[in-house]
Amino acid sequence: MRRWMMVAALLPMLGGTAFAQDTVKIGYIDPLSGGGASVGEVGLKTFQFLAEELNAKGGILGKKVEIVPFDNKTNPQESLIQAQKAIDAGVRYITQGNGSSVAGALTDFITKYNDRNPGKEVLYFNYAAVDPVLTNAKCSFWHFRWDANSDIKMEALTNYMKSVPSIKKIYLINQDYSFGESVRSAAKTMLKAKRPDIQVVGDELHPLLKITDFAPYIAKIKASDADTVITGNWGQDFALLLKAAADAGLKVNWYTYYAGGTGGPTAIKQANLNHQVFQIAEGIPNLGHPPADAFEKALRAKYDFSLFYPRAVNEMRMFAAAADKAKSLDPVKVAAALEGMEFEVYSGGKGMMRKDDHQFFQPMYIASFGERTEKEPFDEEKTGWGWRLAAKIDTDQTVLPTTCKMERPN
């Protein structure tokens, strides 16, 4: 009797392992609670949507793709616990995007883990953490980044801003961690070089995802008499900042990285900043690229949000392409296949995963948010307003040098 019970207990476990071999598990480690939850949840659904897209075409090498969510609360320590949990659950591919502080901890952890566990390597696909250090001083063979890093974005933004003569006084407000720090210093050095006449009248760092009322900060921006604000804020830190600006009636131009994130468009509409908020990204709706439009429509039919992460689309599709090219799902072989890989990106045009530092280069778009013409079919968050292209930066113009000295496994 007892023996039978043991067999019965073992059976489901066998079933589990057999099942696991038929799936490619991607561990999604991002905030699903706390201040980062609003963007983390959208990211998760986007990845699940992309996994379904791959599965509909037969998965990767015939294996079903499964996204396994892990909540890191935007906290680096918690992320490492979740990464270990993911690895213990059989995950060999980890993806993360929100928070360069988290990304820095994860890339260290995974590099060390892979050193100690040859044959069980884990790859880290970074879809949105843009601190330049991750593909420079702290670059790792196991880390691949699909989003343009902060310096690339600032280079493009300042190139655009330099041709706007009305900009005279700039205020910088950013989140107080490695990413915000890199935005503010890049903005200052680049503006100095390109438009020395522009005055930086404020340079603010505020706690990451902890502020619930930005009114004091807005009062300060107002007092500084700035005409333009640059911010790298994301998630609720952007939405609440704009909400406070709307309440106080602050009318300035905004140059941002992440204005399109959850709550951002609603707040911009509330503030009535018609085509006064700019965003730099690797894609927006309303570019008129037919495959992207079809994807956007399908996503919106299923969820109540629009595509905020074209980079995630590129990541998942390139992952599948790399596995096909390597004819293997072994992370080391997939990593080798990804290096230097060229790819037709989601928004159209060629992208390239640079071998030297694992930074992906792709066309970038500066867009403003406001009233639409009939050529712009997509609005955001039911505001009626949508994105309009202001400038396109081709792939070759986004390439910046790297200081990365990549250590490759033998």
| Residue list 49-78, contact with another protein (CB under 8 A) | 71
Angle at 353 between CA 46 and CA 338, to 5 degrees: 80
Kindly state whether residue 372 participates in binding another protein, applying the rule CB under 8 A: no
Kindly state whether residue 38 participates in binding another protein, applying the rule CB under 8 A: yes
Contacts for 171 with CB less than 8 Å, ≥ 6 apart: 200, 201, 202, 203, 204, 221, 224, 226, 228, 229, 230, 252
CA distances from 232 to 84, 114, 226 (A): 30, 32, 17
Decide: helix, strand or coil at residue 57. Answer: coil
Give the nearer residue to another protein in terms of CB position, either 78 or 121.
Answer: 78
Binding mask 330-369 for another protein (x = CB under 8 A): ----------------------------------------
In eight-state DSSP terms, residue 329 is: -
Kindly state whether residue 205 participates in binding another protein, applying the rule CB under 8 A: yes
Binding mask 235-254 for another protein (x = CB under 8 A): -x---x------xxxx----
Interface with another protein (CB under 8 A), residue from 153, 184, 206, 311: 206
Element (H, E) at 271: helix 264-271
**Six token digits for residue 406:** 């990549």
Interface with another protein (CB under 8 A), residue from 32, 83, 130, 366: 32
Question: Closest approach of Cβ 208 to another protein, in Å?
Answer: 11
Place of tokens 């067999």: 7
CA 399 to chain centre: 18
Kindly state whether residue 373 participates in binding another protein, applying the rule CB under 8 A: no
Contacts for 277 with CB less than 8 Å, ≥ 6 apart: 242, 253, 254, 256, 259, 268, 368, 369, 370
Interface with another protein (CB under 8 A), residue from 63, 64, 162, 220: 220
Give the nearer residue to another protein in terms of CB position, either 143 or 184.
Answer: 184
Residues of the shown chain interacting with another protein in the complex, contacts defined by CB under 8 A: 32-35, 37-38, 40-41, 71, 176, 202, 204-207, 210, 212-213, 215-217, 219-220, 222-223, 236, 240, 247-250
